[in-house]
Amino acid sequence: MAVTINGKETAEDVVSKVKASAADLIDTSGVTPGIAVVIVGEDPASQVYVASKGRKARECGFHSVQHTLPEDTSEYDLVALVESLNADPLIHGILVQLPLPKHIDSGLIIQTISPDKDVDGFHFVNVGKLGTGEIETAFVPCTPAGSMLLLERILGRDLAGLNAVVIGRSNIVGKPMFNLLLAHNATVTIAHSKTRDLAALCRTADILVAAVGRPQMVKADWIKPGATVIDVGINRIPAPEKGEGKTRLVGDVDFAEAATVAGAVTPVPGGVGPMTIAMLMANTLVAAYRSAGKAPPRF
């Protein structure tokens, strides 16, 4: 049976380091890491995500601010708020919760955030740094960054000689994951819905990262024996065994099948998910250290 990669445990390690480093920054420079989260509208899932980010920031000893704006907020007003947060010396990380209402151009808002405060890693400056290997000065999107940390715990930092396949080419996960694996010396293929004979390609992978949003798509016969499997998917499917109308969370990988073939695999929930918010805290801490002119800790 495969080793189950414990994302919750690794996330707790990251958060412990963030707490200690934040306290040290406050003691030595008087700078308290500050994060501002902006949410527009009443989307219930977004409300839950934002609340959890605020709680985690306060747990880390951060100055945490939430701006909750009505659904009909204009693009102009949202840009003005982001620009005011760019100029606020108490705020080191800015996070605008997506999706935004349809009348607001998400791309415009993301590019309005200062690259130095872009703790989501979506600004073109940070995307460009990651794509050209300037990882030390880039903010890397939190889910791929967390996935990479889980891989390092299993395989180490140097992945030379290993073949990696990433299923999914999104700007948020697939493409940054490709660049991170490449920077760690893996030989990387990025696959997607137009890839021919996807299962055969996946069977060549020593490292398989699934980020497509299709429940339990990756089966045992897609996986090379002994491979390390990172499941980024979070899908809700019916669970009649729990009662009428009940659901449960599953990944893009059929965990029970994968565990019979893989060397190591992340579960859903409890794998990549906890790492995402932990890396958001780490990115905010790094932004605060940089603003104070101090060398940030490594994660």
**Phi/psi at 248 (nearest 5 deg)?**
-140, 160
Residues 133 and 140: beta-carbon distance below 8 Å: no
List the one residue out of 135, 132, 115, 134 whose CA is nearest residue 124.
115
Choosing from 53, 56, 175, 224, which is the catalytic residue?
Answer: 53
Q: Give me the helices (H) in 113-205, please.
A: 124-131, 142-155, 174-183, 198-202
Catalytic residue check, 53:
yes
DSSP three-state, residue 39: strand
Catalytic residue check, 120:
yes
List the one residue out of 235, 252, 98 whose CA is nearest residue 166.
252
Rounded to whole angstroms, the Cα distance separating 230 from 271 reads 8
Residue 169 is assigned to a ligand binding site: yes
Choosing from 56, 117, 120, 224, which is the catalytic residue?
Answer: 120
Q: Give me the helices (H) in the chain, please.
A: 7-29, 44-59, 75-86, 106-112, 124-131, 142-155, 174-183, 198-202, 255-258, 272-291
Which residue(s) pair with 238 in the sheet?
Answer: 247
Amino acid identity at 123: H
Residue 168 is assigned to a ligand binding site: yes
Residues 264 and 154: beta-carbon distance below 8 Å: yes
Q: Count of CB atoms within 10 A of residue 103's CB?
A: 10
Residue 298 is assigned to a ligand binding site: no
Catalytic residue check, 97:
yes
Choosing from 97, 129, 216, 254, which is the catalytic residue?
Answer: 97
Please give the span between the terminal C-alpha atoms of the chain, in angstroms, as a whole number.
29
DSSP secondary structure letter of residue 140: P
Which residues carry out catalysis?
A: 53, 97, 120
Q: Binding site membership: which residues?
A: 168-170, 234
Q: Binding site membership for NADP(+): which residues?
A: 168-170, 234
